């Protein structure tokens, strides 16, 4: 897929089985439509870990980096609905990264997503970025892959929001690689070869990166809001 806009919010968290049904109803029926109603929010997508369990990956694609500090977004973050306030404490092991887009290749939305969280070694940011952009551009044209993207966290200077206070604070990723595919096997192959930990470390990444493969659960674009029931 080609990411929409020039910025994104990328998030990972766990939801325990007892809260999963209500979480997905809230997230699909209320939270996504609320976010997509904010100026600058273009598309939201929710993904579940292919191995089952409790892990989710969620991404909002934004028109620009300035959307992250817009009055509309901050108003929403600091005034959660009663249902949101109920669900926020159930977001466990939360990682929330506010990002600028460094590179985006491909088109369309695949059913599976590989996410890799990594950091450059000292003095290796430039070489690593160049290597990743070259590698991702080629991967976007390979069998089964429809999109390859590179994000860098750039947290705005802002006070902790009410939603963050309810969750108890969030961890942050550094650099994020995303690979979208219509074949899960293509992502596993890329992870074992072109984007293996050994390849990334040789290109200038620190050891200890985190990866996961996720399946698409729900997606909502701003242009689809008219189809949503009024609240």
DSSP conformation class of 19 = H
Q: Which helix (H) or strand (E) holds 186?
A: helix 184-192
Quote the CA–CA distance of 53 and 39 in Å, as a whole number. Answer: 34
- pLDDT tens column, 118-171: 999 999 999 999 999 999 999 999 999 999 999 999 998 876 778 877 777 789
8-state DSSP, 28? I
Q: What is the DSSP letter of 29?
A: I
Backbone angles phi, psi at 14, to 5 degrees: -115, 145
2 domain residue, yes or no: no
pLDDT in tens, 5-51: 999 999 999 999 999 999 999 999 999 999 999 999 999 999 999 99
CATH number of the domain that residue 122 is part of: 3.30.70.100
- Using DSSP, state whether 197 is helix, strand or coil: helix
Residue 219 lies in a domain: yes
Range of the domain at 147: 7-227
Instruction: Report if residue 22 sits inside a domain.
Output: yes
Q: Quick one: pLDDT at residue 159? A: 66
DSSP 230: P
Both structure tokens of 181: 């595919």
Q: State the residue for tokens 């590989």.
A: 114
62: Cβ contacts below 8 Å, ≥ 6 apart: 5, 6, 7, 8, 9, 40, 41, 42, 68
- Please state the domain count of the chain: 1
The predicted structure's pLDDT at residue 168: 77
Task: Report the predicted TM-score, pTM, of the whole model to 2 decimal places.
Answer: 0.93
- Please indicate, yes or no, if residue 113 is contained in any of the structural domains: yes
Residue 93 lies in a domain: yes
List the end-to-end C-alpha distance of the chain, in Å, as a whole number: 31
- Quick count: other Cβ atoms within 10 Å of Cβ 153? 18
| Average pLDDT of the residues in 53-75 | 96
Is 135 domain-assigned?
Answer: yes
In a domain, 174, yes or no: yes
| Helix/strand/coil for 103 | strand
| Radius of gyration of the chain measured on its C-alpha atoms | 17
Question: Looking at residue 170, what is its pLDDT?
Answer: 87
CA pair distance 83, 163, nearest whole angstrom: 12
């Amino acid at each position: 897929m080609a990411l929409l806009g020039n910025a994104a919010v990328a998030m990972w968290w766990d939801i325990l089985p007892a809260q999963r049904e209500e979480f997905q109803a809230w997230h699909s029926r209320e939270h996504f439509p609320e976010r997509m109603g904010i100026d600058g929010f273009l598309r939201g997508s929710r993904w579940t870990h292919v191995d089952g369990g409790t892990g989710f990956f969620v991404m909002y694609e934004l028109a620009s980096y300035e959307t992250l500090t817009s009055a509309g977004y901050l108003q929403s973050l600091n005034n959660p609905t009663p249902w949101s306030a109920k669900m926020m404490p159930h977001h466990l092991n939360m990682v929330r990264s506010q990002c600028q887009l460094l590179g985006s290749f491909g088109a369309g939305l695949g059913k599976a997503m590989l996410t890799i969280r990594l950091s450059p070694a000292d003095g290796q940011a430039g070489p690593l970025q160049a290597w990743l952009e070259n590698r991702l551009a080629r991967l976007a044209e390979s069998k089964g892959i429809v999109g390859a993207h590179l994000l860098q966290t750039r947290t705005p200077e802002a006070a902790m929001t009410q939603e963050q206070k309810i969750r108890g604070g969030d961890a942050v990723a550094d650099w994020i690689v995303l690979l979208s595919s219509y074949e899960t096997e293509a992502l596993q192959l890329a992870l074992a070869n072109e984007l293996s930990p050994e390849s990334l470390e040789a290109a200038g990444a620190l050891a200890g990166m985190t990866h996961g493969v996720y399946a698409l659960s729900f997606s909502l674009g701003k242009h689809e809001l008219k189809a949503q029931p009024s609240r």
